[in-house]
Amino acid sequence: MSQQYSTTELSRNWSEISAAAQRRPVTLTRHRKAQFVLLNVEDYQALLERAGTRRAHLTRETPDDLAREIEAAIADYADDSER
């Protein structure tokens, strides 16, 4: 679980909170509700890289090569489950 600090604490204890965020993400709250997450640049970049590899398609818009991969994976799964 990440540490939580209020946005008021952020302005008063920047050094402590930024040090904590170097180790793991920190949740910043406003009126006791999570509003922001403060994390180090490496974690942020890793999130962006993972997000960039995902893409959603409507079934009717799925590219042919991707549809073939999906069909092959389903067939492999069916073959494995029959054994």
- Are the C-beta atoms of 56 and 35 separated by less than 8 Å? no
| DSSP-H helix ranges across the chain | 7-12, 14-23, 41-52, 64-82
Q: Which domains does the chain have, with CATH numbers?
A: 3-82 (3.40.1620.10)
The per-residue pLDDT for range 19-75, each reduced to its tens digit, is 999 999 999 999 999 999 999 999 999 888 877 777 776 878 888 888 888 888 888
pTM comes to: 0.58
Instruction: Return the structure tokens found at 70.
Output: 């999906």
- Are the C-beta atoms of 28 and 36 separated by less than 8 Å? yes
Residue 62, φ and ψ in degrees, nearest 5: -65, 130
